[in-house]
Amino acid sequence: MEHLREGIGTGGTKRLGSGLAHVVITYLSALLLALPLFIIVHPFVPELTLPIGEGVRVDHGITFILVLVAFIVLVNRFQAVVYGLLIVGMLALTITTITGWYTVGDMYKGYAEFLRSLRDTAEQVPMASRRAKPFHDAEKLRALVDPRDAAVRKAAVRMATANFTEVKSSGDEFILIQSFSIFKEVNNKWRYVADVKGGEYFASPAESLELMAGDCDDHAVLMAALITAIGGEVRLVRTEGHVYPELKVGDDTRLERSAHLIRKVLFTKEVGEAPLYHHTDPNGAHWINLDYTRNYPGGELMNERIIGILEIHG
């Protein structure tokens, strides 16, 4: 009887270990398969926000859980096929690792790059207020933004076609790419010069075009005038001691596309592995900053506490 009890105990332990290994493999396989699909589909899922504070989005979490559960069911249903593929893959990886042709490190880098290529998105930056009002001196700046001025239009067209002309675009995406070209032209030449001590001077776009120098509000006004002159939408954002322009890129799908263009096509060297940042307005449209302090759109903000927002209309 003692030997029988030992046998039962040993067998139970083996079964427990086998069951645990099965669960780990199932969940790991499902997770590796679910991540890419989630990244592809989540921009198309309707936004679901709980009325907590300024709103808590839960649609992404729900979508990921549903995708993961679906793959867990599929892996369990076809576990023989999955296990077979895993064994073949492990044998192949062992051989290529020994020969030095393709290692585990290469596989990790490849998978990470695959995920980044699927979701080149920008990180959401919290707004100080969902309904930020125009700031002090806002109307003075608005009056300076004249996209119909002949000199501004001429400069805007020249700058819009100075870069990225070989990049293929669809729909109205060419406005986005040309806006990025204007950003590159201005920011590569812009030099910061402070206003007189204790005073505030607002330069016109024509003056800033001639000098390519000034402070933050001069840069913001110039950028707004140039981009508005080619059909883009810009707003000016004031934080503590700073003003910068933001370009409207649109809904979630357009945000994904914009981030891909910035990171993978237009500003590859400038961005590197740095995150991209954006704001989302009450209507769900996304905006990325075009600050002179960064050499690529969507760079890190100097100050995230927004005091006011000035909409610019062409």
pLDDT in tens, the chain (314 residues): 444 344 445 555 656 556 677 778 788 878 877 776 776 676 667 767 787 765 566 777 888 889 889 888 888 888 888 778 778 878 887 888 888 887 777 766 666 655 554 455 666 665 544 456 677 788 899 999 998 899 999 999 999 999 999 998 877 799 999 999 999 999 999 999 999 887 889 999 999 999 999 999 999 999 999 999 999 999 999 988 899 999 999 998 889 889 989 988 999 999 988 889 999 888 889 999 999 999 999 998 877 778 889 988 76
* Residue 128 within a domain: no
CATH no. for residue 220? 3.10.620
Rounded-to-integer distance, Cα 262 and Cα 260, Å = 6
* Residue 132 within a domain: no
Measure CA 53 to chain center: 24
Residues 144 and 243 in one domain: yes
Residues 185 and 108 in one domain: no
Name the residue with tokens 């969902």: 130
Residues 180 and 90 in one domain: no
Last residue of a domain, one of 94, 122, 150: 122
Q: Spell out the alpha helix ranges (H) of 43-127.
A: 59-77, 79-99, 104-118
The domain containing residue 195 runs over which residues? 138-311
Residues 166 and 83 in one domain: no
Last residue of a domain, one of 66, 97, 122: 122
* Residue 54 within a domain: yes
* Residue 115 within a domain: yes
Supply the pTM of this predicted model: 0.65
Number of domains in the chain: 2
Residues 157 and 279 in one domain: yes
Rounded-to-integer distance, Cα 265 and Cα 262, Å = 6
Residues 230 and 280 in one domain: yes
Residues 75 and 176 in one domain: no
List residues bridging with 308 in a β-sheet. Answer: 238
- The crossing angle, in degrees rounded to 10, of helices 173-189 and 150-160 is 100
* Residue 256 within a domain: yes
Apex CA 182: angle with CA 239 and CA 268, to 5°? 85
Last residue of a domain, one of 54, 87, 122: 122
Residues 116 and 149 in one domain: no
Residues 89 and 142 in one domain: no
* Residue 133 within a domain: no
* Residue 131 within a domain: no
Residues 116 and 144 in one domain: no
Residue 145 phi/psi, 5-degree rounding, is -80, 100
* Residue 225 within a domain: yes
